[in-house]
Amino acid sequence: MRATRTCAVALAVLTAVAVAAVIGVATVPLAAQVAAERAAFEAETLKHFQALVQLDTSSPPGNEHRVVDYLKQVFDAEAIPYQVFAKDPQRPNLVVRLKGSGRQRPVLMLGHTDVVTVDPTKWTFPPFAARRDGGYVYGRGTVDDKDNLVAALMTVLSLARSRTPLDRDVILLAEAGEEGAPHVGAQFMIDEHFAAIDAEFCLAEGGSIKRQGGRVVQANVGTTEKEPRPIEIIARGPAGHGSVPTKTNALAHLSTAVDRVVAWVPPLRLNETTGSYFRMLSTMAPPDKARRYRDILSLDPKVARAADDWLAVNEPSHWSMLHTSLTPTMISGGFRYNVIPSEAKVTLDVRLHPDEDQSTFLDEVRKVLADPSLEVRWARDRYRPAGGSPLGTAAFTAIGAQVKKHYDVPVLPTMGTGATDMAQIRSKGVHCYGLGPAVDEEDGPKGFGAHSDQERILESELHRFARFLQDVVRELAVAPTR
């Protein structure tokens, strides 16, 4: 039985219940049918999910063709047309488009097919076994990003099978190379095949439903993110014998520079997303924290500064949402103990606030260092454009409505301190929103999160997310009955 008639059946059941209430007919068989439809949908979701997790697409090298080959046979069996775009034949992207009336511009669902590499010795269950245990599925990619991919796949299958009339095209991009190789994935698609994925809205990874103590508490929807762009600072001085101390030692010189840059607090910045985020959080948090979140929004710089200082110590990820951040991550210099090196270098992981003016930022860093003998430079060209998506769109409204229906928790627009491929897609004017299934907040520190050694997802939350995503897309795309 095709599971995707669930919605139609649910409607039929509602009607039947109403009729039965009037004429006193037992409704058990229909309720049982709904349960059976739902069970079949979940079984199919799980089957595809396990199959996708079992395909080793760790990047490098990627081998995303394994997922594309799998999806091709799924779509072939349903006679759903697709296109494949590949810069590297081993790393193709697959696009499916369900045609709508064209009354509205398309909605794009993004799921990346690659995963980060693994150290199999650290895994209790083999990383590509998709083992089920205690209500979880374990494996690389279970929360990054084969969850989004399978939810998008099931949405396409459901809409295609029900032949639901659509007001806009629904597009699925199964995208290669998200984990550090955008030149074969997002960047390649927007540079060379953007027409195939051009849309008004995009739904992708980059958000999640937060659970605490087994209870869902809030929905974080990614609406903007910081831009990673490392900076290098290089100190130079005469080399010499380590037995003769000098005032021009490059290493000593560099350590002073690191001290200065770490002590510097770039300006506090708020935008539509973070303003709304901290405002909402202040209505949900316990009183002591709520005050800090309110104070961050204060127009009195002293009050905001005190709250900001508190976040820096107690909630650094919240602090990072309010600033461009500079974190020293690599230091190099010297090659043996008795030689004073002539050069020493520190690399700073700089995450630029989306509102940062990049053309003047490097000069600000130079001013902070106040030492013209240091070389300060970008470690690479800009490649992830900054940008954000507004909160007043039909997509954000639909997400809010479906969060209410499926999770019944507040929606918080969120600025990611990391980076996703939404940045590339946003740069083409597409409004992107980051979504994700519910995960336990406690799971990350225990080592079960994305990129860790025991990545896992709750089966029940995978299913709820698949239903949620489908309903968001239906709300956005299904033609109203006229």
Minimal distance, residue 64 CB to Zn ion, in Å? 13
Which listed range, 25-33, 88-96, 136-144, 161-169, lies at the site for Zn ion (CB under 5 A)? 136-144
Q: Which residue, 377 or 451, has its beta carbon nearer to Zn ion?
A: 451
Query: Closest distance between Zn ion and the C-beta of residue 132, in Å?
Result: 22
- Rounded to whole angstroms, the Cα distance separating 149 from 112 reads 7
- Applying CB under 5 A, does 295 fall inside the site for Zn ion? no
Question: How far apart are CB 113 and Zn ion at their closest, in Å?
Answer: 10
Residue 143 amino acid letter: V
Over the window 189 to 208, marking each residue x when it contacts Zn ion by CB under 5 A and - when it does not, the resulting string is ----------------x---
Of residues 237 and 436, the one with the C-beta less far from Zn ion? 436
Residue 45 burial by Cβ neighbours in a 10 Å radius (0-12, 13-18, 19+):
buried
Q: Between residues 64 and 144, which has the closer beta carbon with respect to Zn ion?
A: 144
Residue 231: CA count within 13 A, CB half-sphere? 25
Task: State the residue for tokens 């799921």.
Answer: 111
Residue 267 CB neighbour total at 10 angstroms:
11
Q: Phi and psi for 4 in degrees, rounded to 5?
A: -85, 10
Number of residues that bind Zn ion (CB under 5 A): 3
State how beta strands 208-212 and 215-225 pair.
Answer: antiparallel
Q: How far is the CB of 173 from Zn ion (least distance, A)?
A: 14
The span from the CA of 93 to the CA of 153, in Å, is: 14
Q: How far is the CB of 22 from Zn ion (least distance, A)?
A: 51
State the minimum distance, in angstroms, from the CB of residue 204 to Zn ion: 9
Which residue lies nearer to Zn ion by CB, 44 or 145? 145
The smaller minimum CB distance to Zn ion, of residues 185 and 266, is found at 185
**Cβ neighbours of 446 (radius 10 Å):** 11
Nearer to Zn ion, 113 or 218 (CB): 113
Residue 60 preceded by cis peptide, ω within 30:
yes
Those residues whose C-beta lies under 8 Å from the C-beta of residue 468, and which sit 6 or more positions away, are 151, 402, 403, 406, 407, 435
Of residues 140-179, those binding Zn ion (CB under 5 A): 144-145
CB of 226 to Zn ion, least distance (A): 16
| Residue with Cβ nearer Zn ion (295 or 421) | 421
Task: Name the site residues for Zn ion (rule: CB under 5 A).
Answer: 144-145, 205
